[in-house]
Amino acid sequence: MEVTLLGTGDTTGTPTPNCGCGTCREARERGVERSRFSVHVHDEASGESLLVDASPDFRQQFLETDVALPDAICVTHIHFDHLDGLGNAYRLLEDVPVYAPDETDPATGESVAETVSRKYDYLDAVSVRPVSPFDAVDVCGFEVTLVPVEHPPLVCYGVRIDAPETGATLALTGDTSYGIPDRSREVLRDADLLFVDGIVPATHCEYHPLGGAHPDDSGTYRTFGTKHMTIEGAREMAAALDPAEYRIVHLSHYVPAEDAFDDDMAVDGETFSL
């Protein structure tokens, strides 16, 4: 299993356009970027590639990395920074199945699969394959399992990707608060590599209109508002899920410059062989 982090940032990315904050300046000086989230997973045995989430930065990500265009795509939720790159299928991909959850979202009245199908019905190359949470499906030589996480007000899913040929496992929490259900945690546990959502330090909760949630015993918030984990929450979640290795993803430029490029904080282009 060859894993490439195509996009590791939040909805505005780092550097953020027209931003002169210390973190954006540091990113420019280092020549690194955190574009909108996307992960490329290649199976050496089948020769096929799976894309987890279709970033709006799809075109630039594939121009800048030496990876094949996807044979299949998995969509975790319908926020634009994870979905709208699917439009790149037009004239670029001939036939791409898109795997998406089939549970009806009370907030939208349709499932992620139904939203993708409706929104991209003009793309002949796209065929939506509804998937039930916790049911493993065979995709590109992998066993892929979607699990519910907590990212209100919309439904969102984490992903476990197993390579039966080698036993390698990749897990992604997806966009989520610290409140990942126990059953989903069990599926995401003990991976060779974990990508865990973390957007800002817990101190930033004072600036969020809803504050923070899921405090630890010392009162440190592990959720920023209601949707994403804090950096502290991400590290604690990684410890709980006990992967062999992990990286924090979906990072914002609000992480202070002196901390924003710690070893466990991902940047675009990182690769892993599992």
Taking only the tens place, the pLDDT of each residue in 145-193 is 999 999 999 999 999 999 998 999 999 999 999 999 999 999 999 999 9
pLDDT (tens digit per residue) in 5-31: 999 999 999 999 999 999 999 999 999
pLDDT given for residue 185 in this prediction:
98
Q: Can you say whether residue 250 is alpha, beta or left, with left for phi > 0 and alpha for psi between -120 and 50 degrees?
A: left
**In the block, which residue shows the tokens 């899913």?**
157
Q: What is the mean pLDDT of the chain?
A: 97
HSE toward the beta carbon, residue 131, CA cutoff 13 A: 30
pLDDT (tens digit per residue) in 91-144: 899 999 999 999 999 999 999 999 999 999 999 999 999 999 999 999 999 999
| Residues of the chain above pLDDT 70, percent | 100
Which residue(s) pair with 125 in the sheet? none
| Superfamily for the 2-264 domain | Ribonuclease Z/Hydroxyacylglutathione hydrolase-like (3.60.15.10)
Q: How far apart are CA 174 and CA 224, in angstroms?
A: 15
User: How many Å separate Cα 208 from the centre of its chain?
Assistant: 22
The structure tokens listed for 164 are 């039966």
pLDDT given for residue 175 in this prediction:
98
Say if residues 50 and 142 touch (Cβ distance below 8 Å).
yes
> What are the boundaries of each domain within the chain?
2-264
Q: What is the rounded radius of gyration, in angstroms, for the C-alpha atoms of the chain?
A: 17
Long-range CB contacts (within 8 A, 24+) of 182-190: 183/134, 183/147, 184/147, 184/148, 184/149, 184/158, 185/240, 185/241, 187/134, 187/145, 187/147, 187/158, 187/160, 188/147, 188/158, 188/160, 188/241, 189/241, 189/242, 190/241, 190/242, 190/243
pLDDT given for residue 204 in this prediction:
97
Give the confidence band of 215 by pLDDT, cuts at 50, 70, 90. Answer: very high
Q: What is the DSSP letter of 240?
A: H
Maximum CA extent, the chain: 53
Q: How far apart are CA 71 and CA 205, in angstroms?
A: 40
Q: What is the DSSP letter of 29?
A: H
- The three-class DSSP label of residue 226 is coil
Q: What is the reported pTM?
A: 0.97
Q: How far apart are CA 179 and CA 190, in angstroms?
A: 18
Which residue(s) pair with 159 in the sheet? 146, 172
